[in-house]
A and B are shown apart, each in its own frame.
Chain A
Amino acid sequence: MDKKKESIWKRMGIGQLAIPLTALALLFLFNLIRDPGFFSVVVNINNSGNPVLGGNLISVINSASELAIISMGMTLVTAACGGQDISVGAVGAISASVFIKLLIGMGNVTAGTLTVATLACIATAVAFMMFNGTLVSVFRIQPMIATLILYSCGRSIAYWITGSATPQVDSPIITAIGMTIPGIPVPTPVFMVILVGVILAVIFKRTNTALYTQSVGINQGAARLNGISPTAVKMLAFGLLGVCVAVASVIATCRMSQVSHKTLLVDIEMDAILAVAIGGNSLGGGKFRMSGSILGAYIITMLTVTLLAMGINSVNIKAYKAVVIIIIVGAGSPVIKNRMILWRNRRSAAAVKGGAAS
Chain B
Amino acid sequence: MKKLIALVLALALCLGMASFAAADDAKVKVGIINLDPSESGYREANVNDLHKVFTEENGYDASFVTAPTADKQLDAFNTFVNEGVDYILVSAAETTGWDEALAAAQEAGIGVFLFDRMIDCDPSLYLAAVVSDMTKEGETAVAWLESLNLEEYNILHIQGQMGSDAQIGRSTPLAEKAAADDKWTIVAEGTGGDSWSEDEARKIAEAAINEGKSFNIVYAENDGMARGVVAALDAAGITHGVEGDVKIMGFDCNKWALRLLLAGEWNYDGQCSPFQAEVIDGMIKTLKAGGQIEGLNEKNQYINEEKGFDATTITEDDVNTYGLGE
Q: Could you list which residues of chain A lie within 8 angstroms of chain B, going by C-beta atoms? A: 37, 44-48, 52, 54-56, 59, 63, 155-156, 159-160, 164-168, 178-180, 252, 255-256, 258, 260-263, 266-267, 304-305, 308-309, 311, 313-315
**Would A54 and B203 be within 8 Å (CB), given that A261-B38, A266-B195 are in contact?**
no
27 contacts between A and B (CB under 8 A): A46-B234, A46-B235, A46-B237, A47-B237, A54-B209, A54-B235, A55-B210, A56-B210, A59-B203, A59-B210, A155-B38, A164-B325, A164-B326, A165-B325, A166-B41, A179-B235, A256-B228, A258-B198, A260-B198, A262-B38, A262-B196, A263-B196, A266-B193, A267-B193, A308-B203, A313-B190, A314-B191
Contacts of A45 in B (CB 8 A): 237
Decide yes or no whether B173 CB sits under 8 A from chain A: no
* Residue among A155, A311, A314 facing the most chain B CB atoms (10 A cut-off): A314
How far, in whole Å, are A56 and B236 apart by their CA atoms in the complex? 12
Closest 8 CB pairs of A and B: A165-B41, A308-B207, A314-B190, A159-B38, A263-B197, A47-B234, A44-B237, A45-B237
Chain A nearest CB from B81 CB (Å) reads 28
Decide yes or no whether B254 CB sits under 8 A from chain A: yes
Decide yes or no whether B61 CB sits under 8 A from chain A: no
* Residue among A45, A47, A160, A305 facing the most chain B CB atoms (10 A cut-off): A47
Total number of B residues with any Cβ neighbor in A under 8 Å: 44
B193 touches A164 (CB 8 A): no
How far, in whole Å, are A252 and B203 apart by their CA atoms in the complex? 13
How far, in whole Å, are A311 and B239 apart by their CA atoms in the complex? 23
**Would A179 and B234 be within 8 Å (CB), given that A54-B210, A164-B41, A164-B326 are in contact?**
yes
B40 touches A165 (CB 8 A): yes
Contacts of A304 in B (CB 8 A): 203
Chain B nearest CB from A97 CB (Å) reads 12
B206 touches A59 (CB 8 A): yes
* Residue among B41, B197, B325 facing the most chain A CB atoms (10 A cut-off): B197
**Would A256 and B199 be within 8 Å (CB), given that A165-B325, A261-B38, A305-B207 are in contact?**
yes
Tell me which of B189, B197, B198, B256 contacts A313 (CB under 8 A). Answer: B189
Smallest CB gap from B209: residue in A = A54
**Would A56 and B198 be within 8 Å (CB), given that A167-B326, A180-B235 are in contact?**
no
Decide yes or no whether B88 CB sits under 8 A from chain A: no
How far, in whole Å, are A267 and B197 apart by their CA atoms in the complex? 10
Smallest CB gap from B189: residue in A = A313
Smallest CB gap from B38: residue in A = A159
Decide yes or no whether B100 CB sits under 8 A from chain A: no
Smallest CB gap from A45: residue in B = B237
Tell me which of B236, B254, B326 contacts A54 (CB under 8 A). Answer: B236
Decide yes or no whether B204 CB sits under 8 A from chain A: yes
B237 touches A315 (CB 8 A): no
Chain B nearest CB from A155 CB (Å) reads 7
How far, in whole Å, are A262 and B200 apart by their CA atoms in the complex? 13
Chain A nearest CB from B263 CB (Å) reads 11
Decide yes or no whether B250 CB sits under 8 A from chain A: no
Chain B nearest CB from A282 CB (Å) reads 30
Chain A nearest CB from B159 CB (Å) reads 8
B224 touches A309 (CB 8 A): no
Tell me which of A159, A262, A314 contacts B204 (CB under 8 A). Answer: A314
A263 touches B235 (CB 8 A): no
How far, in whole Å, are A62 and B209 apart by their CA atoms in the complex? 15
Tell me which of A164, A256, A267 contacts B198 (CB under 8 A). Answer: A256
Contacts of A179 in B (CB 8 A): 231, 234-235
A311 touches B209 (CB 8 A): no
Tell me which of B200, B237, B256 contacts A166 (CB under 8 A). Answer: B256
B188 touches A52 (CB 8 A): no
**Would A314 and B41 be within 8 Å (CB), given that A44-B235, A166-B254, A166-B256 are in contact?**
no
Chain B nearest CB from A278 CB (Å) reads 20
